[in-house]
Amino acid sequence: MASGIRKIINDPVYGFITLDHPLVFKVIAHPWYQRLRRIHQMAFAQLVYPGAVHTRLHHSLGAYHLMCNALHELKNKGVVITPEEEVAAKIAILLHDVGHGPYSHALENKLLKGIHHETISIRIMEILNNELDGALTLAIEIFTNKYHKPFLHQLISGQLDVDRMDYLTRDSFFTGVSEGVIGYDRILKMLTVQNDELMVEEKAIYSIEKFLVSRRLMYWQVYLHKTVLCAEKMLVKIIERAQELITRGITVRSTSPVFDFFLQNHHTVTSIEAHLEQFCLLDDYDVLATIKNWMFHEDRVLAKLCDCLVTRRLLKVKLTATPVNPAWMEEQRNRICREMQIEERDCHYFLFSGVAENTTYDPREERINILFKDGTAKDISKVDNALIHQALASPVKKYYICYLN
Amino acid sequence: MASGIRKIINDPVYGFITLDHPLVFKVIAHPWYQRLRRIHQMAFAQLVYPGAVHTRLHHSLGAYHLMCNALHELKNKGVVITPEEEVAAKIAILLHDVGHGPYSHALENKLLKGIHHETISIRIMEILNNELDGALTLAIEIFTNKYHKPFLHQLISGQLDVDRMDYLTRDSFFTGVSEGVIGYDRILKMLTVQNDELMVEEKAIYSIEKFLVSRRLMYWQVYLHKTVLCAEKMLVKIIERAQELITRGITVRSTSPVFDFFLQNHHTVTSIEAHLEQFCLLDDYDVLATIKNWMFHEDRVLAKLCDCLVTRRLLKVKLTATPVNPAWMEEQRNRICREMQIEERDCHYFLFSGVAENTTYDPREERINILFKDGTAKDISKVDNALIHQALASPVKKYYICYLN
Amino acid sequence: MASGIRKIINDPVYGFITLDHPLVFKVIAHPWYQRLRRIHQMAFAQLVYPGAVHTRLHHSLGAYHLMCNALHELKNKGVVITPEEEVAAKIAILLHDVGHGPYSHALENKLLKGIHHETISIRIMEILNNELDGALTLAIEIFTNKYHKPFLHQLISGQLDVDRMDYLTRDSFFTGVSEGVIGYDRILKMLTVQNDELMVEEKAIYSIEKFLVSRRLMYWQVYLHKTVLCAEKMLVKIIERAQELITRGITVRSTSPVFDFFLQNHHTVTSIEAHLEQFCLLDDYDVLATIKNWMFHEDRVLAKLCDCLVTRRLLKVKLTATPVNPAWMEEQRNRICREMQIEERDCHYFLFSGVAENTTYDPREERINILFKDGTAKDISKVDNALIHQALASPVKKYYICYLN
Amino acid sequence: MASGIRKIINDPVYGFITLDHPLVFKVIAHPWYQRLRRIHQMAFAQLVYPGAVHTRLHHSLGAYHLMCNALHELKNKGVVITPEEEVAAKIAILLHDVGHGPYSHALENKLLKGIHHETISIRIMEILNNELDGALTLAIEIFTNKYHKPFLHQLISGQLDVDRMDYLTRDSFFTGVSEGVIGYDRILKMLTVQNDELMVEEKAIYSIEKFLVSRRLMYWQVYLHKTVLCAEKMLVKIIERAQELITRGITVRSTSPVFDFFLQNHHTVTSIEAHLEQFCLLDDYDVLATIKNWMFHEDRVLAKLCDCLVTRRLLKVKLTATPVNPAWMEEQRNRICREMQIEERDCHYFLFSGVAENTTYDPREERINILFKDGTAKDISKVDNALIHQALASPVKKYYICYLN
């Protein structure tokens, strides 16, 4: 990023990202935004896809870029968007993920019980808004869907928002799973607004189908890849074990003071209010550096789990179409307790099962409006000869089991 | 990576990387190799190029892939390469960077005085060789250029080795500096061997020129980008300050035991022999987690430097064609001491200058042999109408100065 | 193409295509194969997608490249394929489209009544086989599915053959409709053979779904694009008009003797046998050069149609979900007869309607075998949670009407 | 191209090209512009690079796209460009090649003696300007460099014009010679204007170097590829032979009336004025269809040359660093006369030599202004540590000889 009135950032996905507003510069330069450099977008996916090491900062810059393009296209089509709304929408997308903590898919409910990252994003925006004398007020209204032009919110958080358009594109790109590529540029060109609601033109139907099928593929091939799933669950088990030991009065410290704070007080911290400063210091480095130290902890369960995760000698995973046979589970349990010399109550750290599920498109919950030339609108699942049919509305479930081999 | 006799890894750069030998699997699965996942290939380049977060593990897999292709092409041309030599060359390139520590470009001489990463790579290979009952003996011979077919070594470390072909390609790709792209695939197809020396066919001349010009561009646009340079130098200053404080008897601890060990003993550890185990636990996470903690250290110099680096509020940098005016330096020195309320002897942490230099092609040190159809060979700088001329043999120097603004 | 024992051809789609067998060189060098340079793969698609000017020669080289890759993967999995079978399969795919004439999608039934291009391909192969002393015998057996390893034929002509893998990939590439891109490389890596039948491994399911959805998109967005459709139908009308005039005894000559031969004798030529030499001289240049001349023919219907096509002032087209209202048709008919001053019996040249249809996947006719780990095989439409469901088996129909405006 | 107020064209090189002005639509829809669909951009390069079949129409649309981007960037930097100038510059680039005839690199001096394609382009623009009531007046002023803002002309025809930026990019893309790729997007972002002259910012120096090196590579690897050169020269020989026979009174007709007109009157037609309508009907189809017919001409020299070109059984070519040995030439001449049974005066059709030359950068003729931060400007060859040095100013010459083998 060169200094000046316009900054250009090289992006392997889109070529160049242009920043051209002082408020955008201020937000990006803020340490709380810069923290996103130290949080991987895809957590442990890199254990399977070595290129998937891009950061949440990179994703949010990418989503910002697509927002710029989307607003540009809509204005060209005659949709009224004021300069203030434009900046606000750009700021809102830049900050949409700022409340994410490290490995948040796994840890969201572990470190800060019951607090969703979106709540934290909003709280951070409010504080920045104070620092910046109210300059973010409109951005917050749009982000929280209180603004009278819902399509601006839908661009940030909807079925065709620039958030998922960027992450599907970017995640495909960095994993090298080229099949996940979506025609984001064509979809953006086909966006339109009717009655302040975001729609897509009729001729984008096949692109939208392709978008949903790509998402389906990315879920099963990448996000819910059994090895990625396993690593994530192992991290959860590690934190659970640490918290269990702490509860039992055994010393387990993180070398990062802020991470340590959330660990030691995991029973009592249930609101972000008093702890935002600390939260905004947390990142992947605290978690992984700590886990590396715990490889040598005296608790054998904790040490073993940490060692397995750090050295990528993960638990074995099986995916099945039906729940796992309890007898087989019992057999494994006995073997593991014996081999690891642990008690049965601790065996669940090395043997656990669960369900991965994903819905391709649920018209009861989702809504992608196709605007026809005659002015009528229909959901994508209702158009003639729809690929996206009723049967895809119910979630696909796959059962997984992880176990020490 | 699926299990089985062949594993396929998705790579955004080359599509797929295929692993198909048990020894390759063993090396890759080793914790010391897996450690490379936690070391960024381009250190702080991501502060300017947000996509440049790929790892040394990814690079070494990429170089391995190019090695496979190079050997395949040479064999097709009738060059005799035995299956044993083939595996050995692949193992050697996989491990060529295994001795790199975190941020090694900056820290190579700071943590382990006078020990080059290549020395450590060799030591690691030797130990793995013991663990694997001598299976790496040939790989080590090739890596250390003791094998009687020098072209195998030249593929790993030479002017047209697969190491730099991969890193130029990969670094271009992840930074998004598409101009750095080289025609690696065409160069590989034009490789040949004469008298056991690696050469390129005559018709690759323009591709080689392009390769050298791309390298020149990557150096000035990326590797020696003033902001990247500054961040690197700031890291050096941070470690220097920590070591100075330790020497003075002031407590400065790293929360990572292994990093702490090298810090506290920086005067005495001058050989890798006794400390290899510890070294092989070190990675970027130790360094950055520690620096994050030092943001709150009581020493104001250390804390300030760490804060600036972590929050990306870097020192200001100027690049100039001539050395900096001493009077201007003096003026800055006074201002900084005054504003920071520090003594003059500490001012060098916030005000320092140096020289960045790069040579496009020095025929005295480098040698790219072009093999002509008539069987003669010439260095690329000696062919008719050479773009790569004498004037490019002397290094280009740029003076930089970094200062707290 | 350099001469020598291996030739490398640059291909923007795959990078490099390698030719390495004398028989392959001979076939490619043959004038009948070289003729494919002068036949566009996508006929009039370039009127909408200006990049879609690639040739049938380029497509067949691409399919050959994918065949090489497919055979390489299968052999690596232990499928027995002899060197003779390998060359034969490569030759068969190289020649699979050699029987195509110019604009064959439009003209297949117009110039050579009732003769399918595949029939001509086989006849050409037989003659080449004679010229080459039987070297193509095995290739012909595979092409005509008489060989005892059906999977080799299925690679050339089946649901997952390299023909359609290349044309979908290549047509996407050259049109710039990036959404049509399929993961051909992943599908190739997942191919397998059971009981001599071609199958795909279970983990390719999502890639296959994506392949079918891409094909669906390419049909509606490109192959059946209304403007492309219209241009094609206009060409048919031009030839019909010329033949009608000839039948009526009015002179209509093509400046190309071979094209002229097929035109003047369109009633009598019903077998390729006696006319193969002439057919193998026909290409797009004959047709388009002729049509350019007919722009000045005295018959106003013929001249007008040719002028419209050459200058891209095409008939207007409408696509509708239901057949066109006859009253509206009648109204247009009257207007056109009046404006063009033509008789009603000639009006059909400037006003015509039809149906475009495409089936996404019809399990009654198609079969893509998924091989599960337990050794069982199922059609893609029968696997759990299939995207490719029953409803997609019936063709989607769109009604079009073309009329002079 | 969809109808409406904005049209979007898919382009494999840039993604989408947007047309958004009525005058642009009118120009593109004109039959004289549409004719460019039928002229290949790279003539016979497709004999070596099968993908290189893109058209002059596609190139001019691409150059138009880059012009849009360039103007957008310059306006963002505060360069004053009025809406009228903007449209005019776009029209001028759209039409910059409209005066090209078929295979014009080869035929420019053969069909219309002494008339340069640029002269024809201007004449066509003038006529269109009349048809469009003077709407192209400003475009013509810019094209002919009579407008008082030279930078607009320099964008069309200068050292860094969008014409060569597109053709280098597009030709690299379609040939698959990826090394020819230039960083057109970065160069465009670095363009600037000082005193109404086009300049590039200092930080683009390495990109400009890369651009010149890529151009050098494209010349030797593609444009002057020996096989491409040979095919082009063979076409010249064919036309020469046809004209010689006509002069001798032997009947040689083209089946295309317009092509025939220029052939039969090649001695007398020396001005475009009276023949523009005819010229604007000429394209590659006339030439190649004619040559296909001449394969069967009774003149054995003409027939042989045409047969060789059409079936790609080209003359053999040698490239050498020094002129060809006369004795060797004599020997070949004798052999060819004997084998072909032709007289010596006709032998030059099957045996000829020449010189191919290209200059990397000649600062005496070219000028790429680098604008430094201090406001001074220097030619690229004069900056410190220039790669583009004096030695590259003299043309590289390669001698070629083509002969029937």
Q: Which residues touch D244 (CB under 8 Å, ≥6 apart)?
A: none
The predicted model gives B143-150 an average pLDDT of 97
Could you tell me how many CB contacts below 8 A there are between chain A and chain D? 14
Say what the pLDDT of residue A175 is.
97
Nearest residue of chain C to residue D293 (CA atoms): C256
The predicted model gives D96-100 an average pLDDT of 96
Say what the pLDDT of residue C24 is.
97
Q: pLDDT-based confidence at B114, cuts 50/70/90?
A: confident
Say what the pLDDT of residue B391 is.
65
Tell me which of B102-116, B190-204, B227-241, C141-155 is least confident. B102-116
The tokens describing A20, both together, are: 């051209």
Are D304 and D276 in contact by the 8 Å Cβ rule? The answer is no
With residue B15 as reference, give the H or E element that holds it: strand B15-19
Residue B245 has pLDDT above 70, yes or no: yes
For A186, how many CA atoms within 13 A lie in the half-sphere containing its CB?
23
> In D, which residues are within 8 Å of C31 by CB distance?
310-313
The tokens describing A140, both together, are: 């917050």
CB contact under 8 A, D189 and A15: no
> In D, which residues are within 8 Å of A186 by CB distance?
16
Among C309, C308, C301, CA closest to C344: C301
The tokens describing B403, both together, are: 């200062």
Are A371 and A192 in contact by the 8 Å Cβ rule? The answer is yes
Interval C277-306: pLDDT, tens = 999 999 999 999 999 999 999 999 999 999
Residue B315 has pLDDT above 90, yes or no: yes
DSSP three-state, residue D48: coil
Q: Which residues touch C134 (CB under 8 Å, ≥6 apart)?
A: none
Both B213 and B251 in one domain: the answer is: no
DSSP three-state, residue B251: coil
Residue C128 lies in a domain: no
Cα gap D168→D180, rounded to integer Å: 7
Both A264 and A336 in one domain: the answer is: yes
DSSP three-state, residue B136: coil
Tell me which of C224, C245, C268 is where a domain ends.
C224
Among B251, B83, B65, B77, CA closest to B166: B65
Q: What are phi and psi of D295, to 5 degrees?
A: -55, -25
Both C41 and C156 in one domain: the answer is: yes
Q: Which of A1, A3, A6, A191 is the best substitution to test chain D (most D C-beta atoms within 10 A)?
A: A6
Those chains having 3 or more beta-carbon pairs within 8 angstroms of chain D are A, B, C
Put the strands of the sheet holding D396-403 in their side by side order: D316-320, D396-403, D351-358
User: Residue A286 belongs to what domain range?
Assistant: 226-357
Q: What are phi and psi of D82, to 5 degrees?
A: -80, 160
Q: Report the residue count for chain D.
A: 405
Minimal Cα–Cα distance from C186 to chain B, Å? 9
Say what the pLDDT of residue A386 is.
76
Minimal Cα–Cα distance from A393 to chain C, Å? 11
> In A, which residues are within 8 Å of C221 by CB distance?
206
Interval A114-146: pLDDT, tens = 788 999 999 999 999 999 999 999 999 999 999
CB contact under 8 A, C76 and B6: yes
Residue B2 has pLDDT above 60, yes or no: no
> In C, which residues are within 8 Å of A179 by CB distance?
182-183, 186, 206-207, 210
Question: What DSSP letter does each residue of B345-379 carry, written as one string?
Answer: GGGGGTEEEEEEEE-S--TTT---EEEPTTS-EEE
Minimal Cα–Cα distance from B71 to chain C, Å? 16
CB contact under 8 A, C209 and A216: yes
Say what the pLDDT of residue C144 is.
97
Residue C57 has pLDDT above 80, yes or no: yes
Residue D253 has pLDDT above 90, yes or no: yes
Cα gap D9→D2, rounded to integer Å: 8
Residue B26 lies in a domain: yes
Say what the pLDDT of residue C4 is.
46
Distances (CA, A) of A142 to A136, A157, B358, C51: 10, 10, 50, 41
From the list B10, B38, B256, the residue facing A293 with the nearest CB is B256
CB contact under 8 A, B10 and A175: yes
Are C78 and C17 in contact by the 8 Å Cβ rule? The answer is no
CA torsion sign, B255 to B259 to B260 to B263? negative
Distances (CA, A) of D263 to D240, D245, D251, D305: 10, 11, 11, 17
The tokens describing D282, both together, are: 């000429």
Average pLDDT of chain A, as a whole number: 92
Minimal Cα–Cα distance from D14 to chain B, Å? 14
CA torsion sign, B369 to B370 to B376 to B382? negative
Which residue type does D182 have?
Answer: I
Q: Which residues touch A157 (CB under 8 Å, ≥6 apart)?
A: A96, A143, A145, A163
From the list C181, C209, C389, the residue facing A213 with the nearest CB is C209
Nearest residue of chain B to residue D219 (CA atoms): B206
Cα gap A116→D5, rounded to integer Å: 45
Residue D387 lies in a domain: no
Residue B155 lies in a domain: yes
The predicted model gives D155-163 an average pLDDT of 94
Both C91 and C153 in one domain: the answer is: yes
DSSP three-state, residue D360: coil
Nearest residue of chain C to residue B188 (CA atoms): C16
Say what the pLDDT of residue B30 is.
98
Minimal Cα–Cα distance from C2 to chain D, Å? 9
Say what the pLDDT of residue A391 is.
65
Q: Which of B285, B295, B308, B316 is the best substitution to test chain A (most A C-beta atoms within 10 A)?
A: B285
Tell me which of D202, D223, D244 is where a domain ends.
D223
Distances (CA, A) of D336 to C55, D349, D350, D353: 34, 10, 8, 15
Say what the pLDDT of residue A227 is.
97
Say what the pLDDT of residue C64 is.
98
Cα gap C161→D168, rounded to integer Å: 35
Say what the pLDDT of residue D391 is.
65
Q: Which residues of D touch B (CB under 8 A)?
A: 178-179, 181-183, 186, 206-207, 209-210, 213-214, 216-217, 220-221, 321, 360, 384-385, 387, 389, 391-392, 396
> In D, which residues are within 8 Å of C283 by CB distance?
292
The predicted model gives C245-272 an average pLDDT of 90
Say what the pLDDT of residue C387 is.
80
The 3-class secondary structure across chain C, one letter per residue, is: CCCCCCEEEEECCCEEEEECCHHHHHHHHCHHHHHHHHCECCHHHHHCCCCCCCEHHHHHHHHHHHHHHHHHHHHHCCCCCCHHHHHHHHHHHHCCCCCCCCCHHHHHHHHCCCCCHHHHHHHHHHHHHHHCCCCCHHHHHHHCCCCCCHHHHHHHCCCCCHHHHHHHHHHHHHHCCHHHCCCHHHHHHHEEEECCEEEEEHHHHHHHHHHHHHHHHHHHHHHCCHHHHHHHHHHHHHHHHHHHHHHCCCCCCCCCHHHHHHHHCCCCCCCCHHHHHHHCCCCHHHHHHHHHHHCCCCCHHHHHHHHHHHCCCCCEEEEECCCCCHHHHHHHHHHHHHHHCCCHHHHHHCEEEEEEEECCCCCCCCCCEEECCCCCEEEHHHCCCCCCCHHHHCCEEEEEEEECC
> What are A192's strand-pairing partners?
A199
Both D141 and D254 in one domain: the answer is: no
Both C305 and C329 in one domain: the answer is: yes
D2, burial (CB in 10 Å: exposed 0-12, middle 13-18, buried 19+):
exposed
Say what the pLDDT of residue B152 is.
98
Tell me which of B224, B249, B266 is where a domain ends.
B224
Residue A187 has pLDDT above 60, yes or no: yes
Residue predicted with more confidence, D361 or A53: A53
What would you report as the CA-atom Rg of chain C, rounded to the nearest whole angstrom?
23
> In C, which residues are within 8 Å of B203 by CB distance?
2
> In D, which residues are within 8 Å of A185 by CB distance?
15-16
Say what the pLDDT of residue C110 is.
84
CB contact under 8 A, C49 and D10: yes
Say what the pLDDT of residue B1 is.
33
Question: What DSSP letter does each residue of D19-39 carry, written as one string?
Answer: E--HHHHHHHHSHHHHGGGGS
Say what the pLDDT of residue C377 is.
93
Query: What's the number of domains chain C is made of?
Result: 2
CB contact under 8 A, B16 and C189: yes
Both A265 and A310 in one domain: the answer is: yes
The predicted model gives C123-148 an average pLDDT of 97
CB contact under 8 A, D289 and C256: yes
Cα gap C116→A259, rounded to integer Å: 72
CB contact under 8 A, A58 and B51: yes
Residue D128 has pLDDT above 80, yes or no: yes
Look up the CATH number of the domain holding residue A75: 1.10.3210.10
Both D192 and D154 in one domain: the answer is: yes
From the list A210, A220, A385, the residue facing C217 with the nearest CB is A210
Nearest residue of chain A to residue D183 (CA atoms): A15
The tokens describing D279, both together, are: 């010229």
The predicted model gives C59-87 an average pLDDT of 97
Interval B186-204: pLDDT, tens = 999 999 999 999 999 998 8
Residue C145 lies in a domain: yes
Both A213 and A230 in one domain: the answer is: no
Say what the pLDDT of residue A390 is.
64
From the list D1, D16, D289, the residue facing C289 with the nearest CB is D289
Interval C229-244: pLDDT, tens = 999 999 999 999 999 9
The tokens describing D185, both together, are: 């997007």
Tell me which of B397-401, C112-116, D316-320 is least confident. C112-116
Q: pLDDT-based confidence at C1, cuts 50/70/90?
A: very low
Say what the pLDDT of residue D330 is.
94
Interval D194-209: pLDDT, tens = 999 999 999 889 889 8
Residue predicted with more confidence, C4 or D209: D209
Say what the pLDDT of residue A4 is.
45
Residue D393 lies in a domain: no
The predicted model gives A80-85 an average pLDDT of 98
CB contact under 8 A, A76 and D6: yes
Residue predicted with more confidence, D114 or D22: D22
Cα gap C67→C246, rounded to integer Å: 45
Average pLDDT of chain D, as a whole number: 92
Residue D393 has pLDDT above 80, yes or no: no
Say what the pLDDT of residue B390 is.
64
Say what the pLDDT of residue C391 is.
65
Question: What DSSP letter does each residue of B21-77 carry, written as one string?
Answer: -HHHHHHHHSHHHHGGGGSBTTGGGGGTSTT---BHHHHHHHHHHHHHHHHHHHHHT
Those chains having 3 or more beta-carbon pairs within 8 angstroms of chain B are A, C, D
Say what the pLDDT of residue D56 is.
98
Are A252 and A7 in contact by the 8 Å Cβ rule? The answer is no
Q: Which of A101-105, C94-98, D372-376 has the highest mean pLDDT?
A: C94-98
Average pLDDT of chain C, as a whole number: 92
Residue C336 has pLDDT above 80, yes or no: yes
Say what the pLDDT of residue A329 is.
93
CB contact under 8 A, A210 and C179: yes
Residue C175 lies in a domain: yes
The predicted model gives C351-355 an average pLDDT of 95
CB contact under 8 A, D312 and C177: no
- Helices assigned H by DSSP within A295-384: 300-310, 326-340
Both B219 and B251 in one domain: the answer is: no
Q: Using DSSP bridges, classify how beta strands C7-11 and C15-19 pair: parallel, antiparallel or unpaired.
A: antiparallel
CB contact under 8 A, B34 and A312: yes
Token look-up 């700031």 returns B234
Residue A205 has pLDDT above 60, yes or no: yes
> What are D55's strand-pairing partners?
D40
CB contact under 8 A, B384 and D186: no
Secondary structure letter of residue A14 according to DSSP: T
B244, burial (CB in 10 Å: exposed 0-12, middle 13-18, buried 19+):
middle
Nearest residue of chain D to residue C16 (CA atoms): D176
Nearest residue of chain B to residue D213 (CA atoms): B210
Say what the pLDDT of residue C133 is.
96
> In A, which residues are within 8 Å of D185 by CB distance?
15-16
Both A250 and A187 in one domain: the answer is: no
Cα gap A168→A187, rounded to integer Å: 13
DSSP three-state, residue B298: coil
With residue A91 as reference, give the H or E element that holds it: helix A83-94
The predicted model gives A226-246 an average pLDDT of 96
Residue B181 has pLDDT above 80, yes or no: no
Q: Quote the percentage of chain D above a pLDDT of 70.
A: 99
The tokens describing D228, both together, are: 């491409």
From the list C214, C221, C387, the residue facing A392 with the nearest CB is C387
Could you tell me how many CB contacts below 8 A there are between chain A and chain B? 127
Residue C80 lies in a domain: yes
Minimal Cα–Cα distance from D258 to chain B, Å? 42
Both A232 and A334 in one domain: the answer is: yes
CA angle C270, C276, C281 (to 5 degrees): 120
Among B372, B371, B366, B363, CA closest to B393: B363
- Helices assigned H by DSSP within D45-182: 56-76, 83-94, 104-111, 117-131, 137-143, 150-156, 162-175
The predicted model gives B17-46 an average pLDDT of 97
Look up the CATH number of the domain holding residue C341: 1.20.1250.30
Residue B21 has pLDDT above 90, yes or no: yes
